[in-house]
Structures are given as structure tokens and as C-alpha cells.
Chains A and B, each alone.
Chain A
Amino acid sequence: MSWPALYAQLVGANRHSTSLGKIWLSVLFIFRVMVLVVAAESVWGDEQSDFTCNTLQPGCENVCYDQFFPVSHIRLWSLQLVFVSTPTLLVSMYVAYRNHCDRRRLLQGQEEELETLKTRRLPIVGALWWTYFCSLVFKMLFEGSFMYVLYVVYDGFEMPRLVQCDQWPCPNLVDCFISRPTEKTIFTVFMATASSICMVLNLAELAYLVAKALNR
């Protein structure tokens, strides 16, 4: 997953954000993407190979692993980060569209004005305000739904040491042992906290936008 490429895209869109939006982007990349790549992926690296069941029956481990881990945490978090970053691109698409329209109007060789068009920073009013507002709402929706999905699929944020499984072809109720459960719990709690902080930042930004609009 090419996180630096995503970062390059988002930093470009960052110019049109409020200050809270810029803080949100830093929190996203430092406390979530960095931690995911640098630490969490090595913790979950051997999740299937080290999932051992107390049986010699071939296929039992595969079936039990699949029952208790339909989607790995790492994949869920990567998807969450991708989905949460995308609404920002809505804003940059709208800005590009506005620049395109304005450029068509100034087509009569006003070189200097064309240059300022490219580098100007649009004030967040009117249709841009609504686009920005929608992007924030979508960000919060995605964050919330992914956290909820994680909570529901794994029955909370804690990883147990031992699960009991009796799917076919396991001969009876076998004990299956998960690798590094404590470390996984620590990282799950960390990522959930970072997610909540991002949601709070989005909420604050929403309130700030509404307050600015009411002020006007």
C-alpha cells in the first residue's frame, strides 16, 4: 500500500483546508498511518501461521481461523484510512473545477491572472462551504462505521488468548491459541483512540464552519 502517494495527494488538497483540517491530516498520518506501517503490520504479520489449534486434524486450523477472523484488523484499518482520506479529494476536485471555469473566462491572454488563479487560496464560502461540509460529514460517517464494524466483528477491542472452535472437520471442541494477543489489544486500543481523536477534530471543524457561516 503506497501510503506516501496518498500523503502526496492529500497534502495538495490541504491548502484549501482550515487549520483544524491541517491538524487532522497530521494526526492521521503520524498517529495512524505511521503506526500502522511501522508497528502494527509486524504484530499481525504471523496471525495465521501462528494460529495453533490443539489438534492434528488437517484443515481444522484453517477453518477455525477463518471463523474467528473474517477480516484482519490490518485490512480493516487500511480500508478505513483510505475511505476517510477520500472526502478531502472531493474538495480538491471542486477547487479544480472552479479554477477550470475561471480559467475559461480569463482565456484572453491575461498571463499574470492565470498564474494567480493556480496558486490562490479560495475562501470557504458558498458552494465550497457546502462541499467542505459534506466532506466532513462523510469523513465522520466512515470513521464511525468502520469503528463500529471492528467492534461488532471482534466483540470489543480486546483480543482473547484462547478461542474454542468446533467447526467441521475439527473432531470435537478444540482450543485454538491466538499469537500475541496482548500486543494486539494494545494496538487495537491505540488505533481506536486515534480514530476517536480524529472524529473529535472533525466535529470541532464542523462546529467552526457552522459558526463562521452564522457569523456571516
Chain B
Amino acid sequence: SPLRPPAGLVRNLESKMNWGSFYAVISGVNRHSTGIGRIWLSVIFIFRILVLVVAAESVWGDEKSGFTCNTQQPGCNSVCYDQFFPISHIRLWALQLILVSTPALLVAMHVAHRRHVDKKALKRSGRGSPKELEHIKNQKFQITGALWWTYMISIVFRIIFELAFLYIFYLIYPTFKMVRLVKCDSYPCPNTVDCFVSRPTEKTIFTVFMLAVSGVCVLLNLAEVVYLIGRACKRCMSRPEDESKAAWITQKLSSYRQNEINQLIADHSLKSKLTVTKKSPTEKGERCSAF
């Protein structure tokens, strides 16, 4: 019917909408990232997701319909296409983007958990005014202590996923160059037939581009790891020299149990008998909490 948009256009719009909402979810983590983390997110969005949706998908759009073999034997086209392209570049890149962006959600979950714990502690100590709760909701956490570890783990996973997908790409398509012609003799092709790939040069250009941006993202992640370790070491160096490691460990353990002790004491109403000091977040940051 002339009034209905073509199926390809609808699918393209839906795909754009879904990448858009995916980006909205991922960029929520941006508040708690370092500067390099924000650059990485922009690179992911502009040079990979946007390029994938706007350009690469139309280049690979006719990959199957434009794949022609020099034979009239029905089924030979399908079989030869399946043999040389077990999974399309576009799908590999889409999966890579999804998996590479997900570790950022680990950080978001950790922050949400911290907020939840702080809110509960605040409520139990009786200072649960709406203003204080709002403050907790909008509080920006320093990347120290357990959050530092979560952030490091998320970056390490990002690097692992990127490299894994680059390796899988290398296994399936050993060269980045897309050939013009492949020779195929699987059943039911009657003999060794020539099969022609559609738009090989354009595909090569986009493959090289996406691989290069992948490499840049890996470098950015490595730089972020180095930056985080450097910052943690700097914090370690600036702490007072007379603080012995044993005393520091005891202090750290006690600070972890601080919230639980507070709650137990509140439950058993021993508040009047003991004075418990709750360490403020800034105080925590001054200690060398990177290990």
C-alpha cells in the first residue's frame, strides 16, 4: 500500500530509537566517570554507534540480495553466502558495542547500592529529613575505596570484551580487506562457481574505520586504567608517614563495620550509653583506600 512506509525504513527508525534509548541508559553512568571515561563514552557514541546506524547499516543492507553467483542452480547463492559470511560484520559490531558498554552498568549498580545503604543508615539514625535524602540522591561519589575497585573491574572487562571481539573478527575474517570474488563449491553448486560480493571497497573502508576506532577505544581504556592507578598511588604517597599498615587495616575494617554497628546499636537502643562517631565521606577519601 502506498500509505505504509517501506519495511526497511521502519526497521531503520526503530533501530535508531533503540540505540538512542540504550545510549540514554549508558550515559547515566557518566556522572561518576573520570574525564577519560567521558571521552570514551563520546567516542563510542559518535564514532561507533552513530556511524553504525547511519552509514554502515546501509552499506551492508543488500549484502545477501547483492551476493550473486555465476550459476542458475537454486540454493547455490544461499549456501555460498552462508559459507563465506557466517555472521555479518554489522551484527558483530552491534554485539560488540552492546557488550562493551554494559560493564559501565556495574558502576551504576554499585552507586545505587551505596545510596541505598546511606539512606538506610540516615533513616535509622533519625535524621531522615527530605532535604538530606535529596542530598544523598544527588551526591557525587569520589572514586575511592570499593567504588575504585568496581570501576577498575568494569574497565578491565571493557578491555577484555573489545579484545575478544577483535580476535573473533580476526578468526572469522582474517584480513580486513573485503574480496570482490569468492570461489565456492558446496552442494548444490554444480562445480566451483565464482560468487561476487556487493560493494567490497565500501565495506573495506568501513571495516578499517571501525577497527581503528576499536583500537582507539582500547587505548583510551588503558589510559584510564593507568590514570586511576596513578591517582591512587598519589593518594597513598600523600598520607602521613607514621601511619602503620596494621593500624590502617584495623581502621579500614572498623570503618566497613561502622554502618552495621550503628544499626545494631540503634536497634538495641544503646545510643545513650555509647557515642559512635560516623566517619564522613570526605574523611574516608583522605585515607589511602585504593587497596
Chain A residues in contact with chain B, CB under 8 A? 3-4, 7, 19, 22-23, 26, 29-31, 33-35, 37-39, 41-43, 45-46, 50, 52-55, 161-162, 175-183, 186-187, 190
Contact = CB atoms under 8 A, between A and B. Distances in A.
B22 interface: yes
A26 B28 CA distance: 14
B202 interface: no
Given A42-B90, A43-B88, A183-B88, 20 more contacts: A4-B21, A29-B25, A30-B98, A30-B102, A30-B105, A34-B18, A37-B18, A38-B18, A41-B11, A42-B91, A46-B64, A46-B65, A52-B78, A54-B73, A162-B187, A177-B79, A179-B64, A182-B87, A183-B85, A186-B86
Contacts of A177: 74-75, 78-79, 188
B82 A181 contact: yes
Label chain B's interface by main secondary structure. Answer: helix
Contact of B22 (A30, A43, A175, A190): A30
B64 A50 contact: yes
A31 B99 CA distance: 8
A180 B64 contact: yes
Contacts of A26: 105
A7 B95 contact: no
Interface string B175-217: 0000000000001100000000000000000000000000000
B17 interface: yes
B54 interface: no
B74 A7 contact: no
B198 to A, nearest CB: 14
18 contacts: A19-B113, A23-B109, A34-B98, A35-B94, A37-B15, A45-B11, A52-B77, A52-B78, A162-B75, A177-B74, A177-B79, A177-B188, A178-B78, A179-B64, A180-B64, A180-B82, A186-B87, A187-B91
B87 A179 contact: no
Contacts of A37: 14-15, 18
Given A19-B113, A37-B14, A175-B188, A183 B87 contact: yes
A29 B102 CA distance: 11
B19 interface: yes
A39 B21 contact: no
Contacts of B87: 182-183, 186
Chain B interface residue number, banded: 35 or more
B151 interface: no
Q: Which of A29, A41, A42 gathers most chain B CB within 10 Å?
A: A42
B94 A38 contact: yes
Given A30-B22, A31-B98, A34-B18, A179 B86 contact: no
A35 B95 contact: yes
Nearest to B109: A23
Nearest to A26: B105
Contacts of B90: 39, 42
A30 B21 CA distance: 10
Contacts of A46: 64-65
B95 A39 contact: yes
Nearest to A56: B74
Nearest to B98: A34
Interface string B19-34: 1011001000000000
Contacts of B86: 182-183, 186
Contacts of A50: 64-65, 78
Contact of B74 (A54, A180, A190): A54
B237 to A, nearest CB: 37
Interface string B94-120: 110010001001000100010000000
B136 to A, nearest CB: 14
Contacts of B109: 19, 22-23
Contacts of A187: 91
Given A34-B98, A41-B11, A183-B88, A53 B64 contact: no
Contacts of A42: 11, 57, 90-91
Interface in B1-54: 7, 11, 14-15, 17-19, 21-22, 25
A182 B21 contact: no
Contacts of B15: 37-38
A19 B90 CA distance: 34
Contacts of B17: 4
B233 to A, nearest CB: 33
Contacts of A161: 78-79, 82
A204 to B, nearest CB: 15
Contacts of A182: 82, 86-87
Contact of A38 (B64, B98, B105): B98
A175 B74 CA distance: 9
